[in-house]
Amino acid sequence: MLQKIKYLTTINNDKFLTSYFFHKPSSTVLPVEIKNNNYSAGVTPNIYNTIQRIFSLLNINVAGIKLYLYRDGLYYTYITLHVNENEYDINSNFSDALKIGKLFDAPIYASDQILNYCGIKITKEMIEKNLVS
């Protein structure tokens, strides 16, 4: 089952970038690391701007981003497109899906398996322990 998660932030360094998501009902933070291949979020025009213009022209809506599987250190991701009355899941690498999802303000979902295996359960005790100096 897929659970809606909220994008929090992405932290970039020389070797990898980590995007952080939050699943409110379970108080779980999900960090997703990917190799940094000169991730250029601010350069325009770029392929993401072009995709946004094409989707707009063809009346294609990005209905959501789904992190559906984690295996061997990789996140398998779909971009769900809504075209007319139909939905299509397009397989994508995580970083491309995240960038496209952010451009379209699309909801992001993660499977229970990913939340349970890769997520960090935030507890009241954990917060209290780390706030004490």
**Distance from the Cα of residue 92 to its chain's centroid:** 11
For the stretch 1-16, pLDDT in tens is 999 999 999 888 877 8
Predicted local distance difference test score (pLDDT) of residue 12: 84
For the stretch 58-99, pLDDT in tens is 999 999 999 999 999 899 999 999 999 999 999 999 999 999
Q: Domain 2-131 maps to which CATH number in 3.40.630.30, 3.10.690.10, 3.90.1150.10, 3.40.50.1820?
A: 3.10.690.10
Name the token pair of 91: 């397989």
Average pLDDT score over residue span 109-131? 90
Predicted local distance difference test score (pLDDT) of residue 81: 97
pLDDT top residue among 70 and 128: 70
Q: Confidence band (pLDDT; 50, 70, 90) for 130?
A: confident
- What does 1-22 look like in DSSP terms, one character per residue? -EEEEEEEEEEE-SSEEEEEEE
For the stretch 27-61, pLDDT in tens is 999 999 887 655 455 555 788 888 999 999 999 99
Predicted local distance difference test score (pLDDT) of residue 93: 92
> Is residue 110 scored above 80 in pLDDT?
yes
Predicted local distance difference test score (pLDDT) of residue 94: 92
Helix-, strand-, coil-residue percentages of the chain, each rounded to 5: 25, 45, 25
